[in-house]
């Protein structure tokens, strides 16, 4: 068989998802001389679950042998909202364990040079001191609402260290904060806060009803635009040398109150009706900031030009534009 080191393929699992489609966009739109563009000779392959069910290691072997990737960005995961997680802990645990095991084991077998996998800030301990930093992931139990998903994700970091320790494999992981962008999940039952509010505002405008935002609008969150996250993934693939995870986030001072999110959506949607804050609904935690100081320090040291995050308003407008163009009136 051809050695993986001879190929120039970068394989992206979960290539059809929110983050995967942003990676495809960045690779296709950035120029080859930019840090984030597709380099000469590189071939990027974006996998979806229809080509391979990564829970099955035989199917995974087959598809990895077909493409012989030099490097892998592993995004595929079973992700879901609060209700889905709470009612199916075992499915979230097992599906993610199986996918991660197949991808890492097969990458090891065919000697992939680097794998970058994806954790999430929700895998941090429930009881933790803020801001979140990389070394706090394993310091206590995750929140009980998604313990299946969280433990499977945390294990990626353990697997990465075990493969490195025993075989020298260069497997690492990143921890993004809340992602939003074109191609998001806009299903009202399972959507995250931004796509959920975009959808609700769209329906309020269409039905001439009030735009109801759950909670007081006061909690603060760090949001990362999927296309910014995609660029940071490419930086990690090219420049980051550690096995330990790295948080990919805007700065702590760039937290946004939910009220500001709602206002930006109202503006982007050109919604003129009444807005209500339903304070009978829980606010959740007031803030859960993550530090991006490791990222900024290492980017600087690697000689990468200062990273400009897309202004929140612009990113939101682009997401709303995508929703209005692509959304099939609530079918998704």
Buried b (16+ CB within 10 A) or exposed e, 29-62: ebeeeebbbbeeeeebbbbeeebbbbbebeebbe
- What distance lies between CA 286 and its chain's CA centroid? 22
Beta-ladder partners of 175: 247
Residue with tokens 């494999």: 169
Q: How far apart are CA 87 and CA 89, in angstroms?
A: 6
Which residues, numbered 116-145, are part of the site for ligand NDP (CB under 6 A)? 118, 120
Work out how close the CB of 270 gets to ligand NDP at its nearest, in angstroms, rounded to a whole number: 26
Q: Which of residues 79 and 299 has its CB atom nearest to ligand NDP in the complex?
A: 79
Beta-ladder partners of 45: 11
Nearest to 328 by CA among 226, 186, 220: 186
Which residues, numbered 152-181, are part of the site for ligand NDP (CB under 6 A)? 176, 178-179
CB 56 within 8 A of CB 99: no
CB 68 within 8 A of CB 110: yes
Residue window 71-100: x/- pattern of binding to ligand NDP, with contact defined by CB under 6 A: ----xxxxx-------------------x-
- Is residue 48 within the footprint of ligand NDP (CB under 6 A)? yes
Exactly one of 4, 9, 36, 55 binds ligand NDP (CB under 6 A); which one? 55
Work out how close the CB of 314 gets to ligand NDP at its nearest, in angstroms, rounded to a whole number: 19
Number of residues that bind ligand NDP (CB under 6 A): 26
Window of 10-18, 81-89, 235-243, 282-290 that interacts with ligand NDP by CB under 6 A: 10-18
Judge whether 149 counts as a catalytic residue. yes
Transcribe 126-146 into DSSP letters: SS-PSSB-GGGTTSSPBPGGG
Which residue's beta carbon is nearest to the bound ligand NDP? 17
Beta-ladder partners of 179: 224
SS3 44: strand
- Is residue 14 within the footprint of ligand NDP (CB under 6 A)? yes
Work out how close the CB of 37 gets to ligand NDP at its nearest, in angstroms, rounded to a whole number: 21
Pairing of strands 220-221, 246-248: unpaired
Window of 3-11, 16-24, 264-272, 278-286 that interacts with ligand NDP by CB under 6 A: 16-24
Q: Which of residues 32 and 82 has its CB atom nearest to ligand NDP in the complex?
A: 82
- Is residue 18 within the footprint of ligand NDP (CB under 6 A)? yes
Exactly one of 17, 148, 182, 217 binds ligand NDP (CB under 6 A); which one? 17
Which residues, numbered 176-205, are part of the site for ligand NDP (CB under 6 A)? 176, 178-179, 192
Q: Which of residues 204 and 235 has its CB atom nearest to ligand NDP in the complex?
A: 235
Q: Which of residues 36 and 204 has its CB atom nearest to ligand NDP in the complex?
A: 36
Task: State the CB neighbour count (10 A cutoff) for residue 130.
Answer: 14
Query: CA–CA distance from 304 to each of 23, 117, 229, 285, 296 (Å)?
Result: 19, 22, 15, 35, 10
CB 27 within 8 A of CB 19: no
Q: Which of residues 217 and 245 has its CB atom nearest to ligand NDP in the complex?
A: 245
Residue window 102-121: x/- pattern of binding to ligand NDP, with contact defined by CB under 6 A: ----------------x-x-
- Catalytic residue among 36, 149, 163, 202, which? 149
Q: How far apart are CA 199 and CA 319, in angstroms?
A: 11
Q: Which of residues 117 and 204 has its CB atom nearest to ligand NDP in the complex?
A: 117
- Residues at the site binding ligand NDP, with contacts judged by CB under 6 A: 14-20, 48-50, 52-55, 75-79, 99, 118, 120, 176, 178-179, 192
């Amino acid at each position: 068989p051809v050695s993986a080191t001879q190929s120039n393929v970068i394989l992206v699992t979960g290539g059809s998802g929110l983050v995967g489609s942003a990676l495809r966009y960045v690779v296709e739109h950035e120029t080859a001389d930019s840090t984030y563009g597709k380099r000469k000779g590189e071939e990027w392959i974006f996998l979806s679950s229809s080509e391979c069910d990564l829970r099955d290691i035989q199917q995974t072997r087959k598809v990895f042998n077909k493409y012989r990737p030099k490097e892998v960005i592993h995004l595929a995961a079973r992700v879901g909202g609060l209700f889905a997680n709470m009612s199916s802990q075992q499915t979230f645990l097992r599906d993610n364990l199986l996918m991660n095991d197949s991808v890492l084991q097969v990458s090891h077998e065919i000697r992939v040079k680097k794998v970058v996998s994806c954790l999430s800030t929700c895998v941090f301990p429930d009881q933790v001191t803020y801001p979140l930093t990389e070394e706090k992931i394993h310091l206590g139990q995750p929140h009980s609402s998604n313990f299946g998903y969280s433990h499977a994700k945390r294990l990626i970091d353990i697997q990465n260290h075990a493969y490195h320790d025993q075989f020298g494999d260069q497997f690492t992981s990143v921890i993004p904060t809340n992602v939003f962008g074109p191609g998001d999940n806009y299903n009202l039952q399972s959507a995250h806060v931004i796509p959920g509010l975009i959808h609700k505002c769209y329906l309020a405008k269409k039905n001439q009803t009030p735009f109801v935002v759950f909670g007081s609008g006061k909690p603060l969150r760090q949001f990362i635009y999927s296309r910014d996250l995609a660029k940071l993934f490419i930086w990690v693939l090219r420049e980051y040398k550690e096995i330990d995870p790295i948080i990919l986030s805007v700065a702590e001072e760039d937290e946004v109150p939910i009220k500001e999110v709602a206002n930006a959506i109202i503006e982007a949607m050109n919604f003129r009706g009444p807005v209500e804050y339903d304070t009978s609904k829980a606010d959740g935690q007031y803030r859960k900031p993550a530090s991006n100081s490791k990222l900024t320090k290492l980017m600087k040291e690697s000689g990468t030009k200062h990273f400009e995050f897309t202004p929140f308003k612009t990113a939101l407008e682009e997401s709303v534009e995508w929703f209005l163009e692509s959304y099939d009136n609530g079918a998704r």
